[in-house]
Structure 1
Amino acid sequence: MSEPPRFDRGHTDDLMSFLAASPTPYHAVANAAERLEKAGFRQVAETDAWDGTAGGKYLLRGGAIVAWYVPEGAEAHTPFRIVGAHTDSPNLRVKPRPDSGAHGWRQVAVEIYGGPLLNSWLDRDLGLAGRLSLRDGTTHLVDVDRPLLRVPQLAIHLDRAVNSDGLKLDKQRHMQPVWGLGEDVRDGDLIAFLEETAGLPDGSVTGWDLMVHPVEPPAYLGRDRELVAGPRMDNLLSVHAGTAALAAAAGRGPELPYIPVLAAFDHEENGSQSDTGADGPLLGTVLERSVHARGGSLEDRARALAGTVCLSSDTGHAVHPNYAERHDPTHHPRVDGGPILKVNVNNRYATDGSGRAVFAAACEKAGVPFQTFVSNNAMPCGTTIGPITAARHGIRTVDIGVAILSMHSVRELCGAKDPFLLANALTAFLEG
């Protein structure tokens, strides 16, 4: 294998900007689309007829984006190379009746989304962002990116055993943030505040998908700034790298032997079963329509998918210096050691030997080292969109990612080089 590519801190700087500007899946896909537009991609609507012309295209559906590049001369049965990722992260989401409060405090009623480390949300300056649905049928993104909310922790004087017995949080009683003072809690106050903030007419918002986010920006950390701390790395780090890789691959134009694709889904953190999740029909519909737009038949579609490979890119666990015994003793992925190949024989990850060979070839071409992650047998691992993609579409799928610490915390931690190494590996994979 050749020497790893020289670290480009500009990529990591851009990742940090992407994380800060993407407090929700809706913002993340809008920002990915903006980057693709600059690379010459154009948006297509699902309700329009698609043409088979060459070039970059993308569609947005809620918090999901699927983008692809058709090279000049691509045949109807040309296989796809897919980078799969997800746009959602565990967090606190606003309930349908958000206005709450007690004992002189005004609060916002929230529901727990996914599996966050609840303690990491305590005593943080929190903003509020998401999608507002308007009376006229349109939607509007909103982002209150300033200290607005806080989930206050109980003082140690009222919980003397917290440091010896551990912190125990009730999801319903203990996780409701405060956002002001007042005895008179009125329905509609929060939405009225957001209408005013977004410059929308009073009473124009009839639906909302809102979530809480930390307002502290991503930052370099360490003596030599060799680490990055920030929110939502699981899994916007992969979305960012996949977007950069697709734009780079599209630059090769007619030389591409495959059709490169980015598929970033919502709702991975709670099972992927939605119209924007990996367990829905979105990806399969896009691939099928792309084949048909180029004059392809059912036979062409089957041929294309038979030669297709997907890299399911999601963050994984770096060996923790304080809890090394929780990891498999022979597999200790390290930050800045290059992307990880995830393996689980019970199909919690989709990787098999043939998939490993595809990823190894891409890393060798890119000059990028890679590591292998296997979970400790006594600690069953999580899962990804990888097995779902493989089973739903019959596509050979490989699970990979970047090793991080503090997964599902408000602020996660990765090496400053790894995002750049991942983007290089994904670019080599998409280029074939």
Structure 2
Amino acid sequence: MAKIFPFRAYRYNQEKVKELEKVVTQPYDKIDSQQQDNYYKESPYNIVRLILPKEENRYQTAAENLEEWIKDGILVRDQKPGVYIYTQEYEVAGEKITRKGFVALGELEAGEGVKEHETTMEGPKADRLKLIRATEANFGHIFMLYSDPKNDINNLLSKRMKAEPLIEVKDEDQNLHKIWKLEDVDLISEIKEKMMNRDLYIADGHHRYQTALNYQKECLKKGWAADGVESFNHRLMTFINMDDPGLRVLPTHRLVYGIKDFKLDLFLKKTAENFEINKFKIKEEMYNYLDKNKGNKVFGFKAKEDTNYYGFQFVNEEALAEIKEKYSDAYNKLDVSILHNILLEKYLSIDKKALAAKSNLDYIRYRDKALAKLAADNYQAAFILNPTSVEEVKKIADQGEKMPQKSTDFYPKLLTGLVINKLSIKK
């Protein structure tokens, strides 16, 4: 069951912080060192100084910054609890889209009520646990999906959106993010009731969710008690209807490097036993091939040493025999499963250990950028993918399975810094 709670968020004081664009960021795991530097330059109050400080003692630094900003009125707490309506206006392939959801606290569940589709790694969870221990706060959101085919909940939210938003800010990609606050007790109760019997699916924030569960266990073991809803039993979440037409999933493309003795001719010869291979002169032909074959287990491919582009279509179901012993049919039919278990592991020796060590493979959004980085940087090849569908995500999560890393890209990301939850704990 999905239990949600209104809360009193901390928000940037717009009388003191005039330009919100200079203080909000992408989620912490999307921030590289260059972006971190850029965010630092934007403002002394950029949220990166709380979620990803550069200082050596960064967790303590984050805690000290948070305490100082609250004391100085940079961050202020809302007087009344509420649910925060959150919309994102963005563009994909020339189409203008609006994604609508709401921010609230969600009750933590370790069982069937919250379903995951990605495997988590120990390093990021340990990092986020140290941060929450030091700050006792939730900064980044858990991106939660729920199913509401009739769009009943979003229709309730629309009633409040006629007023001017509290927050309106653009991100680096010029996507427009808006926040309204809903304080109507009756309307919130109706939303809570409609959410009660729905399953939740984590779209983004698997590491943060697992960290919240770990922190909850830690607090209970110490004998600490929750002080109201803004506690370690609940987590800051944004809830998005997976049936809403405003939801899009983008593919994440792969860039290969560090493969010893990689030879294109040999690679093409070997892969031909399981794939039908098409050759193209220009990238647009490869793109067209991918667009026309969504759902047909196809991949784009470009090697740095060759001017040609390629389209791979998987045609040998017998090659899935080893995978089928471990996974469901839904998993086996995923493009990313075939990519990781056959193209990468069988033919390039990029196995699960290499993926865990983050060696041999980088990930990138947008196919043009992937090809540009292949040409400019020290990469050997690029694999261009079609997106994983929301229906596929749901099937995999329902079966308790985990997709390969970077199987989904729910775009745009939820901005960090729009609303913050400070935990209240009795120690």
**Length-normalised TM-score, structure 1:** 0.26
Which structure is higher in helix share? 2
TM-score by length of 2: 0.26
